[in-house]
């Protein structure tokens, strides 16, 4: 196992004795190792064993027996593990850990046969901190760890316990946080609403944003000019009523960038990137040279 590498991400507890977890994200953002994983690095159904988390990767290094098996599948933006934990004493302990810690349990994936390349110009433009692009590997094990490279972006999606786990078979479904009290729904001017909808339409096209957020306006609160509520479905973009044309457009694009980050399971909001990308795109919206890219949204 001298060629074995390890990479840490997030996960936690779905059906009796089973779990479903997000293990890594695809096409960025870079993880804590400055890596990006491309699509199709595995075949759907790729098998891995599950360690009990008593010592990182204990099953692979022979210190303890594996407590389950999982299959890896790719979605548009992430690799998902769907697995089952056995009824051994160590397996039941892991089930209890997943039940108690929920989405706060993080995981690491162990692999062999890594194939990687340097990032290209387009990847560096989008993610300046990326250092390596993974194009292929052979994952062999997933293990709970104290802290993962991907942080809370890769987390438990659902789970149920079984046997002595005694969670009552209830599906774990996180509820959205309450809307901030100072986001008081307000009526914008016609022009402000039109500008916000226009730039968001262009931004989704130019940045390839998958989500279609709803747009809301709030009474100025002295705290912020805009906010994205990303734990809802659909996601929500809130903009302060009464902003001038430029600030309305910049705020809308700034929050749209956060929507895109959430689509890609970014572990945290990058305020610097959101502001920089908004200011970069705004001048191009009315530039006739970009009318084709903007799908005719330019004047």
pLDDT tens string 110-129:
889 999 999 999 999 888 88
Q: Does residue 176 sit within a domain?
A: no
Same domain, 29 and 148: yes
Q: How many CA atoms lie within 13 A of 169 on its CB side?
A: 3
Q: Would you put residue 264 in left (φ > 0), alpha (ψ -120 to 50) or beta?
A: alpha
User: Residues 239, 255: contact at Cβ < 8 Å?
Assistant: yes
Last residue of a domain, one of 113, 131, 165: 165
Residues of the chain with pLDDT under 50: 1-4, 9-16, 162-173, 296-299
Cα distance between residue 127 and residue 36, in whole Å: 9
Same domain, 152 and 11: yes
Cα distance between residue 48 and residue 8, in whole Å: 15
Supply the pTM of this predicted model: 0.54
Distance (Å) of CA 176 to CA 92, 162, 236? 30, 27, 12
Q: Does residue 172 sit within a domain?
A: no
Q: Does residue 177 sit within a domain?
A: no
Same domain, 72 and 25: yes
Same domain, 59 and 114: yes
Q: Does residue 170 sit within a domain?
A: no
Same domain, 125 and 198: no
Cα distance between residue 194 and residue 199, in whole Å: 9
Q: Does residue 182 sit within a domain?
A: no
Q: What is the pLDDT of residue 233?
A: 86
Same domain, 199 and 149: no
| Structural domain containing residue 228 | 190-290
Q: What is the pLDDT of residue 244?
A: 94
Last residue of a domain, one of 96, 130, 165: 165
CA distance from start to end of the chain: 61
CATH code, domain carrying 235: 3.30.2010
Q: What is the pLDDT of residue 170?
A: 41
Count structural domains, the chain: 2
Same domain, 32 and 84: yes
Last residue of a domain, one of 165, 182, 207: 165
């Amino acid at each position: 196992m001298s060629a074995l590498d390890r990479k840490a991400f997030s996960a936690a507890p779905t059906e009796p004795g089973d779990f479903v977890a997000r293990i890594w994200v695809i096409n960025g953002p870079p993880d804590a190792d400055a890596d990006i994983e491309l699509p199709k690095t595995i075949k759907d159904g790729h098998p891995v064993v599950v360690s009990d988390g008593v010592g990182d990767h204990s099953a692979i290094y022979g210190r303890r027996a594996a407590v389950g098996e999982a299959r890896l599948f790719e979605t548009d933006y992430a690799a998902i593990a769907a697995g089952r934990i056995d009824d051994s004493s160590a397996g039941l302990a892991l089930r209890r850990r997943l039940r108690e810690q929920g989405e706060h349990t993080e995981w690491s994936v162990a692999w062999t046969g890594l194939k990687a390349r340097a990032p290209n110009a387009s990847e560096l433009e989008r993610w300046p901190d990326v250092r390596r692009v993974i194009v292929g590997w052979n994952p062999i094990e997933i293990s709970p760890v104290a802290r993962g490279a991907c942080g809370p972006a890769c987390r438990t999606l659902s789970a149920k316990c079984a046997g002595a786990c005694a969670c009552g078979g209830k599906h774990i479904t996180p509820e959205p946080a309450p809307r901030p009290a100072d986001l008081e729904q307000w009526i914008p001017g016609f022009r402000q609403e039109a500008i916000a909808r226009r730039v968001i339409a262009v931004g989704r096209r130019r940045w390839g944003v998958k989500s279609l957020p709803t747009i809301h306006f709030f009474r100025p609160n002295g705290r912020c000019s805009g906010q994205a509520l990303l734990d809802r479905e659909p996601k929500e973009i809130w903009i302060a009523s009464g902003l001038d044309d430029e600030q309305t457009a910049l705020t809308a694009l700034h929050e749209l960038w956060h929507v895109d980050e959430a689509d890609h399971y970014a572990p945290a909001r990058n305020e610097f990137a959101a502001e920089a990308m908004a200011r970069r795109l705004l001048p191009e919206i009315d530039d006739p040279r970009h009318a084709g890219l903007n799908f005719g949204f330019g004047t």
